């Protein structure tokens, strides 16, 4: 199933009053479940294998943690993940990263790769600026809409 279809299904589920959506297409199926407005679980099944990533919501309970989070907020424009997948900061394992904190980027420059369903998808900058913060480490899973980089113009 095409990742663009899955993204569209996620958007449709978020905008609707439905709590669960399941689509079967041949041997592939997608099941999306949301609770209290937060996507809780996405299941994708392929022949002979099952992938079950779970998205967990972290709640901040103490005032101390809240202050730490407020201090961590950085001004600038964000580059968000266009899909669920695995984040890679370089074109192959031994190569230098596409960008590092402090690098100047132009609109259209490749910032990273998101692997989704064995497809390597380049994430490009939407604007000119300087990389102020890289929020994801190499080979970490990312969710749709998760902030990858903060760029200051």
**Residue ranges per structural domain of the chain:** 3-51, 75-152
What does the pLDDT profile of the chain (153 residues) look like in tens digits? 677 777 787 887 788 777 787 777 777 777 877 765 444 444 444 444 344 444 444 444 444 444 444 445 557 899 999 999 999 999 998 899 999 999 999 999 999 999 999 899 999 999 999 999 999 999 999 999 999 999 998
**In this structure, what token pair is assigned to residue 147?**
């902030």
Query: How many residues appear in the chain?
Result: 153
Question: Nearest CA to 84 among 39, 127, 50, 46?
Answer: 39
d(Cα 25, Cα 90) in Å, to the nearest integer? 33
CA 127 to chain centre: 19
Specify the pTM: 0.52
Structural fold of domain 75-152 = OB fold (Dihydrolipoamide Acetyltransferase, E2P) (2.40.50)
């Amino acid at each position: 199933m095409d990742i663009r279809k899955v993204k569209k299904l996620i958007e449709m589920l978020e905008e609707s009053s439905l709590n669960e959506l399941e689509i079967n297409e041949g041997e592939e199926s997608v099941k999306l479940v949301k609770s209290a407005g937060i996507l809780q679980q996405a299941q994708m099944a392929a022949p002979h294998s099952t992938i079950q990533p779970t998205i967990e919501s972290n709640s901040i309970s103490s005032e101390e943690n809240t202050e730490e989070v407020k201090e961590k907020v950085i001004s600038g424009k964000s580059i968000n993940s266009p899909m669920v997948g695995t984040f890679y900061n370089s074109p192959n394992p031994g190569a230098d990263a596409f960008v590092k904190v402090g690098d100047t980027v132009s609109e259209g420059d490749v910032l990273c790769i998101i692997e989704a369903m064995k497809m390597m998808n380049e994430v490009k900058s939407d604007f000119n600026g300087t990389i102020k913060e890289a929020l994801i480490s190499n080979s970490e899973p990312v969710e749709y809409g998760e902030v990858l980089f903060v760029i200051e113009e």
